[in-house]
């Protein structure tokens, strides 16, 4: 006889893998076998988790088609059951999974499109924070280079070797076809921002480097240095000015 804990562990394993014989021996069978009864739960779980992924990655689904998406989603679910009670964070690892999913390897831009969709889902749900005026920089007691500027959680920065913003735009409706759109080749340094509406902005590489380092929690001096590596002529005062003017800074703190 399995303890409750053993039964539940066996049940979890049996949903994403072959059914446990010990578990099956505990399930009443009559007109249906124990495995047929267990498979109803297996199907319900897979359907629910697939639906969650489908809602989070509609553009990826349009690109690959519903059948291939379901196959990909099931493969993902087998490796990644949700780690939290709520499904709001389920799918975070899906872009990374796509990178190593052999069946999707021909669509090399697909993981980045998935990452863009994940970022969009996060910024639109994020709680906006009050922004600070640039004058607050004057309140800093210590060296400004060690200051950390908190960037609003309503923006995320991501980069790709493809114009994923255009690919995303080209697949907003069912049946959209890339051939109807002009998709530039080349890299994208992208800011995904949920303000009054959602915007996807391509930034100059140095500005992207500056902002993404700040958003990742690096000190102002580090973000500036990294931007200057990209572009020795990077205009730091102008970059700081536009960061505040766009209401992106929500807190200023010294390093410690």
Partner 1 sequence: MLTNEAPGMCEPAPGVGLRALHMEELLARRPDVSWLEVHPENYMADHRAFTRLLRVREHYPLSFHGVALSLGSDGELDLGHLGRLGELIDRFEPFSVSEHLSWSGTDGSHLNDLLPLPYTEEALEVVVRHVDQVQSAIRRSILIENPSSYLRFKHSTISEAEFLGAIVHRTGCGILCDVNNVYVSAHNLGADPEAYLKTLPGDAIREFHLAGHSRNEVAGISVLVDDHASCVCGDVWDLYFHALNTIGERPTLIEWDADLPPLDVLIGEATKARHIAQEGRDLRRVVAA
Interacting residues toward partner 1 by CB under 8 A: 1, 3-5, 7-9, 11-12, 15, 26-28, 30-32, 34, 36-38, 40-41, 44-45, 48-49, 51-52, 81-90, 124-128
Helices 220-230 & 236-245 angle (0-180, nearest 10)? 120
Nearest CB to partner 1, comparing residues 86 and 141: 86
Nearest CB to partner 1, comparing residues 79 and 216: 79
Question: What is the closest distance, in whole angstroms, from the C-beta atom of residue 222 to partner 1 in the complex?
Answer: 29
Q: Please provide residue 50's backbone torsions phi and psi, each rounded to the nearest 5 degrees.
A: -65, -40
Nearest CB to partner 1, comparing residues 34 and 230: 34
Question: What is the closest distance, in whole angstroms, from the C-beta atom of residue 75 to partner 1 in the complex?
Answer: 17
Three-state secondary structure call for residue 190: strand
Question: What is the closest distance, in whole angstroms, from the C-beta atom of residue 128 to partner 1 in the complex?
Answer: 7
**CA 152, CA 247: separation in Å to the nearest integer?**
8
Considering only CA atoms, give the Rg of the chain: 23
**CA 67, CA 12: separation in Å to the nearest integer?**
25
Q: Which DSSP string do the residues of 126-137 spell out, in sequence order?
A: SPP-----GGGG
Question: What is the closest distance, in whole angstroms, from the C-beta atom of residue 223 to partner 1 in the complex?
Answer: 26
Nearest CB to partner 1, comparing residues 20 and 160: 20
Distances 234 to 93, 188, 200, 207, 238 between C-alpha atoms, Å: 34, 18, 22, 8, 9
Nearest CB to partner 1, comparing residues 90 and 189: 90
Question: What is the closest distance, in whole angstroms, from the C-beta atom of residue 15 to partner 1 in the complex?
Answer: 6
């Amino acid at each position: 006889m399995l303890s409750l804990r053993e039964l539940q562990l066996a049940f979890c394993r049996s949903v994403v893998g072959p059914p446990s014989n010990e578990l099956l021996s505990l399930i009443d069978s009559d007109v249906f076998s124990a495995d047929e009864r267990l498979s109803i739960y297996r199907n319900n779980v897979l359907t629910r988790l697939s639906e969650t992924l489908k809602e989070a990655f509609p553009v990826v689904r349009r690109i690959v088609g519903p059948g291939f998406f379901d196959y990909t989603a099931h493969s993902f679910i087998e490796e990644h059951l949700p780690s939290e009670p709520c499904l709001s964070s389920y799918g975070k690892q899906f872009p990374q999974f796509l990178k190593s999913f052999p069946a999707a390897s021909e669509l090399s831009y697909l993981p980045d499109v998935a990452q863009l969709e994940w970022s969009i889902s996060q910024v639109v749900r994020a709680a906006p924070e009050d922004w600070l005026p640039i004058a607050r920089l004057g309140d800093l007691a210590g060296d400004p280079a060690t200051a950390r500027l908190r960037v609003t959680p309503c923006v995320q920065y991501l980069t790709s070797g493809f114009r994923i913003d255009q690919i995303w735009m080209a697949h907003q409706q069912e049946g959209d076809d890339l051939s109807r759109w002009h998709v530039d080749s080349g890299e994208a340094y992208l800011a995904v921002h949920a303000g009054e509406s959602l915007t996807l902005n391509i930034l100059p590489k140095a500005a992207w480097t500056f902002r993404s380092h700040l958003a990742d929690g690096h000190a102002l001096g580090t973000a500036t240095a990294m931007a200057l590596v990209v572009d020795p002529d990077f205009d730091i005062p102008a970059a700081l000015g536009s960061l505040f003017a766009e209401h992106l800074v929500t807190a200023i703190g010294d390093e410690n």
